Structure formats: structure tokens, C-alpha cells
Structure 1
Amino acid sequence: MLALLHIAVALPLAAALPTSLDRRAAETCPASSPLSCPTPSGSVDTCCTNSPGGQMLLTQFWDTNPVTGPTDSWTIHGLWPDHCDGTYDSTCDSSRVYTNISAILSEGGAQSTLDYMNVYWKDYNGDDESFHEHEWSKHGTCISTLDPDCYSNYQPQEEVVDFFEKTVELFKQLPTYDWLSAAGIVPSNSKTYTLAQLQAVAKSRFGQPITWGCRSGVLNEAHYGYYTRGNVVSGEFIPADVDKSTCPSTGIKYVPKTGGGSSTSTTSAPGSTSTAPSGKVFVNVISGSSTKGCLISTGKWMIGATCAGYTVSGSGSSITLTTSKGSCGIVSGAFTCGSGVSATNFSKDSSGNLVYSSNSQFHASAVPSGTTQVSVVTGTAAQSIKLNLA
């Protein structure tokens, strides 16, 4: 998978977004709306027919190196509005590229969706927020029926909430791991499978063959195709044959997720025991004598989120840190990472703890819980912590 590169701007949240039920009732389309594929001829109401991106793909990952997400579930890649011929547009509206997806969802009444995404919509580099931003900006902005002009009484960013809620809704209907398992296709370091076996499961459960993706003969992606009738929020999703599998006909490896992650039956915090991506470190938070969560890509402290991979440059008494957001430094007394941040020189003590101004003690207002993000500060605060580079 390639690194995600994009330019985005943070916009303020609307004061109040409609509830989920309000959004879903916002627009209705006639039952006579044409199917999104084949490409409808003549004039098309793009608020009631996804066009030109009429071939919707719900895409899933099976990431094993590094292990990403639960060990007994595939994870979400995205919802992609491809053209009917398989080509696609990307980043269709730069004015709606956001860097605060988590906040938009939380403020938009979709906290439960965000909580689910924190387990099942994971970035293999540990930067979930940037991954979600990328999927929205590259693909979500190209879904015509989510254009703001298609909403009555539009509230800024409500289409963002609809995009993520619909993607999660579709993913829950497509339990790839369970379907394969029920057919005797289970992760193994010794067994191999055929493409015909995989497609038999897809046809039986989904009703159509799907695109199975392999890399060097190792299964790692599943793309479920739909044509749609009506808008994405409340319209009909019809399974379609969009098979462009890249797996060989025989000898397909379905490798177990080992060395990290957790089963969905456990309560371990995602990412809390996994290994940092090659060339990067996690910044674990030590409170008292125990590890309690880690820093995400913006430099804030969370528990229950995938740790961000930090790149360490320099050595000895002078090191700098960067994440996918940008350089890390002390800004107004808070540890912060971002594109406009000037890198601060830190050092490490003998235990691998980050040191700033000859002090390895940092502070926070409280221990975070749920999806709360807490700032790490250099000044005095209620919670004394250390930042350990693991």
C-alpha cells in the first residue's frame, strides 16, 4: 500500500448538525430513478443517480504485516464511486477536503460510527485520522448524490457523516472473515486455496463474484461491487459483477494475522500491543508504572486508538520527531505535530523516555477515555506522565 499524500485544510464545525434520522429523511428520490450502471443516457439528476461514479465498491483489507485491526476480521478500506467502465475520478471538490474527520463525526452525532471505525477502519501505518481524511477527500467528494446541493436545509459537513455512516453500514453486511471461515477457508501458514473457492463464497453470500486482491499470491483485499438506484444515503445498493481479481487461480495464501492485533472478542485497545512500522517508533504514554495508550499523529494522547508511527531523526542529545502530519514541537507549551510546526530538539534518557529541557516529565489534564484526545503539556497539570519511544 502506498503512503497517503494529500493537502487538506481544517474548517470549523457547524454549530449543530442534524441527527442521523434527520439526515436520512432529508432527501427522497423517485422509484423510477435510473440504475447508476450502465451509464444512463440523456440528462440525469445527479442527486438521485450516482453519476459518473455509478459503480460503488466497498473495499476491505486483510493486513498482516504489520497486523492491522482484529485478528478475526477484515477491515475497511473505503467506499469508492468508480465509473461504470472501472475508471474513476478523485478529489472532486478541494473545498471539502477536511483534516478533522473525527471531530466532524463526533459533533455530527455519529460517535458510535467513529467508535466502530477506531476498531475496523484502520491504517496500517497507525495513522487512522489521515487515512479517513484521504478516503473522504479522494473518494467521498466524488459521490454526486452527496453533493451539498442535493440536501434540503444543508448543514456544513453533514455529507461527510453520511459517507462514513453508509460505508460502515455496508461493511457490517459483508463479514468476509466469517463467510470464508464457514466455508473452511481460514488463515493458515500452510494451506492454500483456489480463486474458484473464494468466488464460490462470494456468489453464495453476496450473490455475485467480487474482486479478490492478492500481492505475490497472498490474499489481502476484497472489493464488493454495487450499482445503485437513488441517493447513497437512502437508495438501493444492488450487488453487481465487477470482478477484476488479481489473485492466481491456484495456490492462494491466506496468511494469519500474527504478532499483534487482537480478536474482536477481547477488549484490548487496538494498536496497544502491536509493533511500530519499519523505521518508526510508537510514543507510548507511561502513567505511574504502566503504559496507558499512546500519542496519535497530531501529538495528542489517546487510549483505544491505533498508535501513530513517529520518525526519529538525529541521535544522542538532539533528536527530532515527525509524523504524517508534519514536524513535532512544543507549541504554546503543548506537544504538537503538524505542517506548520517548527521541529523542537528533544533527547532521550537511558529508559527511552523523551526529554525536553532536561526534564522527562510531561503532564496532562486527565487520563483520556473513549475517543477523547488529551493534550500533552510541559507545564504543571493534574496527570504526570512520561513519553516512551518504543
Structure 2
Amino acid sequence: MHYSQLLSLGAVASIAAASPLNLFCGRSDVVGPTCSKQEVSQLSCRNTTNPENLCCFNSPGGQILLTQFWNAQPDIGPVDSWTLHGLWPDNCDGTWEQFCDKSRESTDISAVMNKFGRTETLSYMQKYWRSNNNNDDGLWQHEWNKHGTCMSTYNPECYSTPQKDQAIADYMDKSVELFKQLDTYKTLAAAGIVPSTSETYTLSALQAAAKAAHGEEVVFNCKGGKLVEVWYHFNVYGSAQSGKYVPSLVVGSPSNCPKTGIMYLPKNGNGNGGGNGSKPSSTRSPPVPQPTGNPGEPFSGRGYLTVDKGGCLISSGKWYTKGTCATFTAAAAGSGFTLRSSKGPCGVVSGELQCGAEVEATTFTATESKLANGYTTAFYASGDANTGSQVAVFTTSEGKPTTLSISWLGL
């Protein structure tokens, strides 16, 4: 059933007329759904009827959020710009779906963008859509796999001549296009709100500046009193690819920043990140479990690394089912954690999970209580450890047909 919030047609028209983003109508067309005038006349989450063609109407995720990061600790991205987090389809009541179609998930966004000639967009992503652990493609994969696959207008049947991964390229294009229209750094600077090591700001001042640019209130999120994220809410006439985005009231989680004393720290100019900053989706509130960098949820102290297909990891980092599980130690590191076995630190070496004296420790995170690297909980192996062999575990799927996930069993 589609969620509807009944409004008069006059009220809907006034929302559209008031939108400062009607300029999106003039954007270049992308390949996607062909929609009639009637099919694009309903505004998502504000519809007066339930449209049947969900290629031309976003449902149930009709509340679309453009999310951006401000990462100063560690320093990620240009010093005078926020960076892109993602484009999320929320339901009209503040809930959301996630990971909606495993068959359309991607493990190489860069290859997809090159395949469809989106090299200009890809170049922009490499500067402004940045990961905090030097795995930008992993972040892009996470955003599409978790959020993009849940947007109804990107479904394969919405394309007259569907090509594999076409929707991925369109999702990335649209995310970048919206991000370019909402320069949070310039918006705040115009109101006298600039990064500082000494000045602090009020939530009301931040909201006033953002609303003047966006047209509606936005969500600012903080971590330890420091500004780290902003969410812009929209409803859409038509498809997510080429429809008209209308600024919307906040539905769902409100800002978590304090009312006063908000720190907006400057970046130091390095811009490379370091793997210890905020993670995607870490500020989302229940009802859906979200990634966490807290090593106590549940990676903390001593425990086993169990594999969903049976068995566990041994001290070298390999997957094994016929012997005794190795004991690992999880220790807090920034907003993530490191792992160590009796052989030494654990890390990702040339795409393989290894533990040893010569291994440099990787800062891992947790998503829904599973081990995550590069914002994904999927790990891969070239064989099945149930045969009795010790099988290497990798973070990339190329040539490795077995997909597995790793969980923590505390001792």
C-alpha cells in the first residue's frame, strides 16, 4: 500500500510554485522512464491518489534525502566544500527500506561510470564524494546497494531498453547534480558561519541559513558537539531520474545537534582522510539498525569471528570449519576498531584479510553487528571451507564466487 497524505490540489500547486529548485526542470534528460503529463502530476508523499505506475512516481520511498558530510577529523575533501554522502529514499512516515535488490548490487561503480561514458561525473565524484577510509568506490557501492536499489523508478522495467547497470549510472549522476545545487559551505559562509577552532554556533543560526537556500528546514547532525552532516529533504514530481524535486518538510529523525555551542571545525588542507572519521549512515535513528563505529556494538574485548556459512576465522585470518576458532581482540580506534589475533594485527593486504606481525592494522567498522570494510559487510572466498581446507577471505569479489559475512561472538 502506498502512503498518501491528502492535500488540496491548490496546496500542492503552491508547494511547487514556492520551490526555489524548479530550475531542475531544465536539466538535461537522462535515459529512464517515459512519463505522461498526468503521471508526473502527483507529488510523492503528497499525492491525492495512489499512482499505479511506480516508474513515474517514487513509492514507497517518496521522501528523498540528499545527505552531505563535513569531515574535518580526519580531513576529507576540499577545505571549502562539504562532501556528498548519498541520496536516500525514505518512506513518507520516517521509516525506510534498504538493500532491496541483491541482484542489482554493484562491486565496481567506477567501471559502471566508465562503461556509460560518465567520466565527467566520475571525476567529480573522486573529488567531492569521498570515503573516510580511502575506499571511495566502496562508499559509492554502499550508497547504491543500500539506497539506490530501493528507489522504484530505477527498477529495470522502467527503462524501455534496459541495459545492465544503467540505473546505477543514472543514480550517481542525479546524486551529483543535486549536490552541485546545494553548496552547504557557501550557504553557511554567506550567513557568517565559517569553520573555526574558537567560534561556536547555534542550531537556529544554522537552520536559518540553510532554510534560506533550500526553502525548508534541514537536518543538521553533530558528533560530540561537532558539525558532521546535513540532510536536505525533497518530494518529487515524476521519476527520481528526471522529475522535479520540491523541498519538503523534515519527516523522520530531527537534528541531533545541541541548541548552542556547535563546533564547525576547519579542515587542515590535507583532504585525504584516514579511516577514523564518521561512517555513512551512522547518524540514522531507529527503526532500522544502522552502521556503528562503537566497538561495543558488538566488537569489543575478546571474541570469535564467526562466518555465516559455518566455521570461523583462524589466527591467520583464513576461514576454517574443522578446527578451533581463534580468539581475536577488538580495540577502539577512532570511531571504529582494530582486530588482533595471536599472530599479530589484522588488516586488508592486497584485498585479502590477513593477521600477522608484519600486517598494518586496518580500522574496521560494524554494520548491523557484522564486520564491515569499506561500508560493506560482504566478504568473498574462492572456495568453500566446509571441504576442510583453510580458505583465504577477500574484500573484492572478482574470481571469488563464495560470498560470506562475519559476525562477532564475544567471550
CA change 1:34–1:321 in 2 (3 A) is: same
| Counterparts in 2 of 1:205 and 1:298: CA distance versus 1, 3 Å | farther
Q: Unaligned regions of 5+ residues in structure 1, if any?
A: 1-19, 262-270, 281-296, 301-309, 329-335, 343-390
**Which one of the candidate residues 42, 56, 64 is aligned to 1:48?**
56
Is the counterpart of residue 34 in structure 1 residue 42 in structure 2? yes
Counterparts of 1:130 and 1:188, CA distance in 2: 31
Identity %: 44
Write the letter of the residue equivalent to 2:63.
Answer: Q
Trace 1:244-255 onto structure 2 (pairs within 5 A): 244-255=254-265
Q: Is the 8 A contact 2:99 2:147 kept in 1?
A: yes
Counterpart amino acid of residue 256 in structure 1: P
How far apart are the structure 2 equivalents of 1:81 and 1:89?
8
After TM superposition, list the pairs within 5 Å mapping 1:278-317 onto structure 2. Answer: 299=350, 313-315=355-357
Contact 2:134/2:274 (<8 A) preserved? no
Of 144, 150, 153 in structure 2, the residue corresponding to residue 145 of structure 1 is 153
Is the contact between residue 133 and residue 274 of structure 2 (CA under 8 Å) also seen in structure 1?
A: no
Q: Are the counterparts in 2 of residues 29 and 231 from structure 1 also a CA contact under 8 Å?
A: no
- AA partner of residue 34 (structure 1): Q
Going from structure 1 to structure 2, the CA distance change for 1:140 and 1:246 (only over 3 Å counts) comes to same
Report the CA distance shift for 1:22/1:190 in structure 2 as closer, same or farther (over 3 A).
closer
In 2, Cα distance between the equivalents of 1:39 and 1:26?
Answer: 19
1:156 aligns with 2:198: no
- Give the TM-score taking structure 2 as reference length: 0.62
Separation in structure 1 between the aligned mates of residue 164 and residue 56 of structure 2, nearest angstrom: 20
Change (3 A) 1:190 1:312: farther
Q: Do the aligned partners of residues 321 and 151 (structure 1) sit closer, same or farther apart at CA in structure 2, a change above 3 Å counting? A: same
State how far apart, in whole Å, the 1-side matches of 2:62 and 2:48 are: 9
Match of 2:209 in 1: 201
Which residue type is aligned with residue 66 of structure 1? P
Contact 2:33 2:56 in 1 (8 A): no
**Alpha-carbon separation, structure 2, partners of 1:205 and 1:66:** 28
- Asked if 2 retains the 8 angstrom alpha-carbon contact of 1:39 and 1:54, the reply is no
Match of 2:232 in 1: 224
Query: Are the structure 2 counterparts of residues 232 and 276 from structure 1 closer, same or farther at C-alpha, using a change threshold of 3 Å?
Result: closer
User: What does residue range 228-243 of structure 1 map to in structure 2 within 5 Å?
Assistant: 228-242=236-250
Instruction: Please report how far the alpha carbon of residue 248 of structure 1 lies from its aligned counterpart in structure 2 after TM superposition.
Output: 1.4
Moved more, 38-47 or 226-235: 38-47
C-alpha change, 1:185 and 1:158, in structure 2 (3 Å) is same
1:90 pairs with one of 80, 98, 101:
98
Deviation at 1:190, TM superposition (A): 0.9
Paired AA for residue 250 in structure 1: T
1:91 Cα shift?
0.7
The one-letter code sitting in structure 1 at the alignment partner of 2:76 is: T
When residues 170 and 320 of structure 1 are mapped into structure 2, their CA distance, relative to the original with a 3 A threshold, is closer
Q: Report the RMSD for the aligned CA atoms in angstroms.
A: 3.1
CA distance in 1 between partners of 2:207 and 2:130 (Å): 25
SS in 1 for 2:205: helix
Aligned-pair CA distance for 1:195 = 1.0
State which of 23, 31, 37 in structure 2 corresponds to 1:24: 31
- 1:131/1:25 CA distance change after superposition, 3 Å: closer
Which of 91, 104, 108 does residue 112 from structure 2 map onto? 104
Deviation at 1:311, TM superposition (A): 8.1
Task: Give deviations 1:149-206, integer Å, cap 9, x for gaps.
Answer: 0111111111111000000000000000011111110011111111111111112111
The structure-2 alpha-carbon separation of the partners of 1:298 and 1:72, relative to structure 1 and needing over 3 Å to count, comes to farther
Q: Please list the CA deviations of residues 315-337 of structure 1 after superposition, one character each: whole Å capped at 9, or x if unmatched.
A: 2xx54887937699xxxxxxx96
Please state whether the residue corresponding to 2:120 is helix, strand or coil. Answer: helix
Q: Is the 8 A contact 1:53 1:81 kept in 2?
A: yes
1:179 paired to 2:200: no
Q: CA deviation at 1:43?
A: 4.7
SS in structure 1 of the partner of residue 356 of structure 2: strand
Structure 2 CA distance for partners of 1:187 and 1:147, relative to 1, 3 Å? same
Q: Which runs of 5+ in 2 are unaligned?
A: 1-26, 277-332, 337-347, 365-372, 382-392, 400-411
In the other structure, the counterpart of 1:258 is 268
What TM-score, normalized by structure 1, do the two folds share? 0.65
Equivalent residue letter for 1:257: K
User: SS of the residue aligned with 1:24?
Assistant: coil
Query: C-alpha distance in 2, partners of 1:46/1:83?
Result: 14
The answer (yes or no) to whether the contact 2:78–2:269 under 8 Å persists in 1 is: no
Displacement of 1:29 in angstroms is 3.7
Distance in 1 between residues matched to 2:353 and 2:275, nearest whole Å: 10
Could you say which residue in structure 2 is the equivalent of 1:76? 84
Q: Deviations over 1:100-156 (max 9, x none)?
A: 111001111101111100011011111111111000000000000111101111111
* 2:174 corresponds to: 166
Aligned pairs for 1:125-144 (under 5 A) are 125-144=133-152
> How many residues in Structure 1 have an aligned counterpart in Structure 2?
279
Q: CA deviation at 1:217?
A: 1.6
Hey, what's the Cα distance between the residues in 1 that align with 2:28 and 2:194? 38
Cα separation, partners in 2 of 1:82 and 1:164, compared to 1, 3 Å: same
Confirm or deny: 8 A CA contact 2:32 2:160 kept in the other structure.
Answer: no
Amino acid at match of 2:35: T
Q: Retained in 2: the 8 A contact 1:23–1:158?
A: no
